[in-house]
Chains A and B, each alone.
Chain A
């Protein structure tokens, strides 16, 4: 392969790094009204009265909107396919406020000063209710977070608002109780994972204006431009055709931007005033009023025979979706569907639970999307089982895990919000991942622990993980290739590059098929007017789903070139071929360069534009796999954990751009380390977020991560473009469990609640 599998530099590298104006805030019209949001100081209240009269008098204020001024259409902000498996329980503005930071009023003015002053002058009288702050007490709580009659689900998702339940789910294969009776060893344990914040460094940003045709144009830092267009259309009752959403460069997303955030507020201002408007979230607003990861609790029961054959997995979960039910059902289902198939040899498996509303920051999509939460629980429980059995945890996994050529009934039963798709795993090199990881970490020499001093002990631990590649039968992508008159190509894609380099790898794929250099492919991504439909950059779908669409479009383009080339050469089509530079006669001497053909096609002979398009929807979602190994040093006097090494060995099929794939994994591992060790979310007693800045909410710095070693095993996924599977999310999944297991192996304490802070370790040691 010529272009694919090469470390080609990202197309936007120098523009991004050398400071070109490319992000939403840089591109907002210079005369944009500044938009800010008055936010609720209460976790749960009803607005009795709002007085905006004093605020309106401030010079420079252009408009102040309250719930009385905007349509009350129940929507979900979740950027998912339609109909969404998330309840429609959110309004542009509502008379109820459901968390500290919820929107009360939209203020727009000519400058920031005026708007900030106006925010302080708005007088709101609230009827304050008792908030639901503890997700374990949400169900049947006397406070009902969504009492409004408008809230509804789009189809059956177990939505039960009067009980504060956003979604619920249950599946079972085999007879759990009967099978457990037959097991010689049983493990029962409860695990908790916290609400991680995304901390994409570009804050959520949106700007809007009315174009010359009277259409609403939104420029937004979003992972899902097409969903934004549809949701805004629903929220404001304006036809989709009258809205255009442009996605410029995005400063990181990680799932946090798989939703509408600022878009409805700038749109409301622009629709009201006819003027351009922009809303750039402050860091505090990003923490308090966008998305965070769903906290989850899992009760895990494992049953096995004495010789280490895993017979039963029973997982009962409770997930906290916060004030709105975005991604409630789907993150919960993914917790099951992206962990349970790992151990496909069991006799009985059950997965059930509820997703509850609380009066806290809404939860949403976040890299790992449920899988990381359940992976921590399941892979910690596996290690507990290995201790009970006296079997090396690596051996226990090898004995029970999925192998190439196998399947799991879970694939068909559990999709994302509905049934999944059956599949036989055609690429799974977990075994090789584990072998390589053991070598790189030095498992045999280091397991379980080495005492390095009187107070410091090093331990190693590991975990395995799987993810998916897009959502089967739901995620759809399309691509258009256009031949230019100099022989270069435009690739138009709806796929949304968030910084991952997807524009580049998709260009590499097109270049590979066309046998041209990647430089000859000029990519334009994500503008709902100009690029074809794509469900968006989430669920690890871009390489696999969008990549497939690009591959198909490029194959079509190649055929078109050969057809038109043959006409030009006056030979039958079957006798012509294309080598990337020339269209030539297979058994003769006639040839014409692509550049010349393109020029004559557009200016002189057989004049026509060559355009090829293709769409793709995945019929399955082949999982990438990973084995993660952690080596930690625990100070038994202080409980402090130092991460020495983290080894991640990954099977993501063929890596289209090995450098970019590696950085995706390294970045995922570091976010997983953050979730495992530091990232902690704290609220006041009244439900205000305390960890609302980077002083209080610690993400890993470059000194916190030890050495990260990433390797790929050779693998080929026949259903993927050029043998590729996804690589976006898998990296984040293993660190919580692998680090917890390493800490146990070092000092013999099992921390079941993330993050694993020094206090927790020290308390457990004592």
Chain B
């Protein structure tokens, strides 16, 4: 079947198999920032914004995305600003999970989360094995303008 997506404001049309997963289709289209971490929707690495809301792209059929808007980190305006804060804390490390974390955190800013604990709870599904999270939290605190 043929689906039409708007990815990072660009219209993409692609033939897919009915069982194909959004993550794989996005990678086929060349959006390599979308990375597979766990296959089970547990790690948050493959997060994309689906009509502006974060979802794990490994757990969504591509067919469901037909006619919808997808944003990956390549097309996210605030991504660089948050990436800069992460890098200043050394919180990037292997970087594999960073796009997913960035997408989710930028979403939290958009919906006005300003409490670090609330942010941590919302980001609980964004796992990271390298950094130990604390450096991410230092950057998130700055990015969200959290007052302690």
**A contact residues vs B (CB 8 Å cutoff):** 7, 9-10, 12-21, 23, 26, 113, 198-203, 249-252, 254, 282-284, 498-501, 657, 659-660, 662-663, 665-671, 693-695, 699, 701-703, 705, 708, 710
B38 contacts the other chain (CB 8 A): yes
| Min CB gap A99→B, angstroms | 21
B123 contacts the other chain (CB 8 A): yes
B72 contacts the other chain (CB 8 A): yes
Question: Which residues of A are found within 8 Å of B57, using beta-carbon distances?
Answer: none
- For the residues of A in contact with B, the DSSP-based class is loop
A251 adjacent to B94 (CB under 8 Å)? yes
**B contact residues vs A (CB 8 Å cutoff):** 17, 31-40, 42-43, 45, 72-74, 79-80, 83, 86-99, 102, 120-121, 123-137
B42 adjacent to A18 (CB under 8 Å)? no
B94 adjacent to A283 (CB under 8 Å)? no
Question: Which residues of A are found within 8 Å of B34, using beta-carbon distances?
Answer: 19
Query: Nearest 3 pairs between A and B by C-beta?
Result: A19-B33, A16-B95, A499-B94
| Min CB gap B9→A, angstroms | 16
Listed A/B pairs (6) with beta-carbon separation below 8 Å: A13-B95, A250-B94, A252-B93, A282-B39, A694-B42, A705-B132
| Min CB gap A291→B, angstroms | 14
| Min CB gap B132→A, angstroms | 3
Q: CA of A26 to CA of B36 in the docked complex: distance in angstroms?
A: 11
Contact of B127 among A13, A659, A694 (CB under 8 A): A694
Question: Which residues of A are found within 8 Å of B86, using beta-carbon distances?
Answer: 13, 17
A19 adjacent to B32 (CB under 8 Å)? yes
Q: CA of A18 to CA of B123 in the docked complex: distance in angstroms?
A: 19
| Min CB gap B133→A, angstroms | 4
Residue of A14, A20, A199 most packed against chain B (CB within 10 A): A14
Question: Which residues of A are found within 8 Å of B88, using beta-carbon distances?
Answer: 7, 9, 659
Q: CA of A693 to CA of B132 in the docked complex: distance in angstroms?
A: 20
A663 adjacent to B93 (CB under 8 Å)? yes
| Min CB gap A489→B, angstroms | 22
| Min CB gap A673→B, angstroms | 9
Closest to B99 in A: A19
- For the residues of B in contact with A, the DSSP-based class is loop
Question: Which residues of A are found within 8 Å of B89, using beta-carbon distances?
Answer: 659, 663
> A699-B127, A703-B121 are known contacts. Are A670 and B132 too (CB-CB below 8 A)?
yes
B120 adjacent to A703 (CB under 8 Å)? yes
Q: CA of A203 to CA of B38 in the docked complex: distance in angstroms?
A: 9
Closest to B89 in A: A659
B32 adjacent to A20 (CB under 8 Å)? yes
Contact of B93 among A113, A501, A657, A708 (CB under 8 A): A501
> A252-B96, A693-B42 are known contacts. Are A666 and B134 too (CB-CB below 8 A)?
yes
Q: CA of A678 to CA of B78 in the docked complex: distance in angstroms?
A: 35
A201 adjacent to B97 (CB under 8 Å)? yes
Question: Which residues of B are found within 8 Å of A21, using beta-carbon distances?
Answer: 32
A702 adjacent to B133 (CB under 8 Å)? yes
> A17-B102, A703-B124 are known contacts. Are A12 and B131 too (CB-CB below 8 A)?
no
B32 adjacent to A14 (CB under 8 Å)? no
Question: Which residues of B are found within 8 Å of A669, using beta-carbon distances?
Answer: 132
Question: Which residues of B are found within 8 Å of A13, using beta-carbon distances?
Answer: 83, 86-87, 92, 95
Closest to B72 in A: A19
Closest to A20 in B: B32
A667 adjacent to B132 (CB under 8 Å)? yes
| Min CB gap A631→B, angstroms | 16
Contact of B42 among A251, A499, A663, A695 (CB under 8 A): A695
Question: Which residues of B are found within 8 Å of A23, using beta-carbon distances?
Answer: 35, 96
> A19-B31, A663-B89 are known contacts. Are A202 and B96 too (CB-CB below 8 A)?
yes
| Min CB gap B4→A, angstroms | 23
Contact of B74 among A18, A699, A701 (CB under 8 A): A18
Closest to A200 in B: B129
Question: Which residues of A are found within 8 Å of B123, using beta-carbon distances?
Answer: 702
| Min CB gap A362→B, angstroms | 20
Question: Which residues of B are found within 8 Å of A19, using beta-carbon distances?
Answer: 31-34, 72-74, 99
